[in-house]
Amino acid sequence: MRESDQIWQRPVLGAGSAAALPVWGNTKGLRLGLPPTPGPPGLLRVYAPYLGQAYPRVVNYIAVEPVVAGRRGFSELESRGIVAGETKEQGKTLTVRFTVEPLANGARPMIEAVFHAERPYDVTLRCLAAPGSAPMERCILTATMGNYGRLRRLFLKDRVVEAKTLWPTLAPDRLGFEPHRSFPAHELVRRGNEVVLAAETDEADLLAATYAPATFPGWFYEGKPGRHLWRTKEVPGLIARVNARRTYWLSEAAIPGGLAFENIELDAPFVSGQEFTFAIEPQAAPDRPSRTPSAPQAPA
């Protein structure tokens, strides 16, 4: 076995079905996948087996949402998506270029994912424009499934804010989302030369939830909790943004414990090659009691 085979997971041509799956990443850490692995079209699947979540359990998704002339594209909701990955190994890094089909606003983004052997819990995503792309004002990468991990605590430079305090009065749109809340870069945590936006659950035990009877089993949390975060170098115009839901996507099933963040993103004016690092770090137990209902039952 090559040394790289011990570090990286990637599709192997001519191999059996499991080895040929379009999944890339660190064998001991975070991984990204594409259809036909289970999940909606147009999204990068995020896997975190080190949290005790066996494939094909997805811990989050990342959507590509470029803005052209003020019009935001949606890789998840349009009849297009992320279609291919090309791999390059160099030393202790694995780079995968994901091609996104042209979106309705004319954008043709490409995303390079760079995995680092010494940083198993993160992946750096570079935003690029493919030939023929309409000029992109921004290329937003958004983590879209915070409700699965029931993320409710958002870490800013001088405070921790909770979803329930950002939306004390609920006013969801037709799809159930509370309006976005934004934070300028100077309000974000600094880590070295980068700014960080991190969210985590406030529940002491995610497995101890009682789910509404109509809840789709795919929402039942598995494994250990993780802190989901974005980080990037500060640039003029950078903002952080979150929204939230009280029910799971496309359902009326209430989220155990109440309102939770769903989309979490950093947004900056587009510059070719700009980098946003996404990470899911194992989370220590919250420093206060769980808010889950009494008499819990473990999910199936």
Question: What is the tens place of the pLDDT at every residue in 208-235?
Answer: 999 999 999 999 999 999 999 999 999 9
The pLDDT tens digits of the residues spanning 44-58 come to: 999 999 999 999 999
In angstroms, the CA 163 to CA 151 distance is 8
Q: What is the C-alpha separation between 152 and 140, in angstroms, rounded?
A: 22
Residue 91 burial (10 A CB sphere; 0-12, 13-18, 19+): exposed
Is-contact 237 269, C-beta < 8 A?
Answer: yes
Q: Write the pLDDT tens digit of every residue in 64-106.
A: 999 999 999 999 999 888 987 788 888 799 999 999 999 999 9
Q: pLDDT, tens digit, for every residue of 235-272?
A: 999 999 999 999 999 999 999 999 999 999 999 999 99
Q: Which of 49, 214, 35, 204 is nearest to 121 (CA)?
A: 49
Question: Is residue 293 scored above 90 in pLDDT?
Answer: no
Distance (Å, whole) CA 34 – CA 23: 7
